[in-house]
Amino acid sequence: MTPDTLEISDDLSKKLRAELPSVAAAAAEAVISEVPGYGDLRLFAGATLDGAVELALRGFLNIAAGAKSTDQASPLQPALDGAYALGRGEARSGRTMDVLLAAYRVGARVAWREWSLVAVKAGVPGEWLSRFAELNFAYIDELSAASVSGYSEELETLDRTQQRKLERFARRLLAGGSADILRAEADETGWQPPTNLCAVILPASRARGVGTVLDTRSLQLSEDSPASNPEDDLRILLVPVITSSDRDRLMASLAGRQATVGPIRPWAEVSLSYSRALQVWNLRLPETKEALDADDYLVDLVVGADAEALKDLRARILAPLEELRPSTATKLTETLRAWLLHQGRREEIASALFIHPQTVRYRMGQLRELYGDRLDDPATVLAATVALGLRSGQ
């Protein structure tokens, strides 16, 4: 007897092999009866369950008897390959490994019971039976390990495949399109659309671990982000949100990640959230590390939507000051901006400009001489408000 084999006489070997079909059938029947999930003789890789069991048991007999071959792995390898394939099949079926491992335990127990009866009838000693049982269950452990390996590797493959599908779908969302078409594509991808989404842009270096604080239905684009500077290594997240409170919590979870968060939009219109987030991302100063809320930058976006138009509007509004000395024009421009911002309240204007209220009165007199009744015209006031860029200070 060696650590990995048994001394089996030719007569006993023939008897054990003769019982292979019936032992396999008994083991398969016990698995179907005792293990939930094996309620029928499912075909797997072209073989029924009892056929797969018989293949495994034949491999065990070859190993236990010390079968010789130029390929030393050949007695075990077919069974290990089959076990590996079974593990992959369990992953594809969506079951956990508990079912298959339970099936192995039941099958090993029944096989040992049936074969031990044959061995006892053949008059083998108790030491031989003990070693036979030890090898039997050690063999099942090896098959179990092979199945676990196949299961794990298949899960990784399925996960990578699903992630690629989800990323392609995220790109489709950002490209926009009919809600009905997008919903059909979501169904094909296996993604359940939430009511709303908002887009998040952040550097790849700040995205590590962010998935642990987000809704599990969040979509992520990890490379070649659409419409962004190709030199920027960015990540785009499409995160389910329902209410403004949800969005506030999202902002808090992104603190310190240098993120920009777009507005809430219906899931099929998340491209609008991404577009807004990207516009605000482009306003971000390099040293800014906190998360930016795109909703806080609406004025900046409106004012800066057409730089040339804004330049022309500004020149038109400030035309009455063109003939003044530059220092005087600058002071009156600052006063006009403060007057618009504080709606003509002299004390507040003086405080904002750090000048005396009488100086405000004097300057506003100058402005009224230059502009006349136009400062009382709502259209002129609106144009001046936009032109002077009250929020951005342009």
Which spans in the chain are helix H?
A: 10-18, 20-34, 49-64, 77-93, 97-121, 126-175, 179-189, 244-253, 270-281, 298-303, 307-317, 326-341, 346-353, 357-371, 378-387
Residue of 107, 98, 100 whose CA lies nearest to 57: 107
Whether the model clears a pTM of 0.75, i.e. scores above it, the answer is no
Q: So what's the pLDDT on residue 73?
A: 43
Low-confidence ranges of the chain (pLDDT < 70): 1-7, 37-48, 50, 65-75, 223-232, 389-394
What sign has the CA pseudo-torsion 200, 204, 209, 211? Answer: positive
CB-based contacts of 62, cutoff 8 Å, min separation 6: 75, 76
Q: So what's the pLDDT on residue 69?
A: 38
- Given a contact cutoff of 8 angstroms between Cβ atoms, the answer to whether 203 and 258 are in contact is yes
Domains and CATH numbers, the chain: 10-157 (1.10.490), 187-303 (3.30.70), 307-387 (1.10.10)
Q: How far apart are CA 291 and CA 254, in angstroms?
A: 6
Residue of 335, 330, 328, 324 whose CA lies nearest to 364: 335
Give phi and psi for 56, each to the nearest 5.
-65, -40
Q: How far apart are CA 26 and CA 176, in angstroms?
A: 58
Q: What is the DSSP letter of 293?
A: E
The per-residue pLDDT for range 352-376, each reduced to its tens digit, is 999 999 999 999 999 999 999 999 9
239: exposed, middle or buried (Cβ count in 10 Å: 0-12, 13-18, 19+): buried
91: exposed, middle or buried (Cβ count in 10 Å: 0-12, 13-18, 19+): buried
Q: So what's the pLDDT on residue 231?
A: 58
Q: How far apart are CA 385 and CA 391, in angstroms?
A: 10
SS3 category, 220: strand
Q: So what's the pLDDT on residue 334?
A: 93
**Torsion-angle region of residue 223: left (phi > 0), alpha (psi -120 to 50) or beta?**
beta
Q: Per-residue DSSP letters for 151-203?
A: HHHHHHHHHHHHHHHHHHHHHHHHH---HHHHHHHHHHHT----SEEEEEEEE
Q: How far apart are CA 394 and CA 390, in angstroms?
A: 7
- Given a contact cutoff of 8 angstroms between Cβ atoms, the answer to whether 260 and 291 are in contact is yes
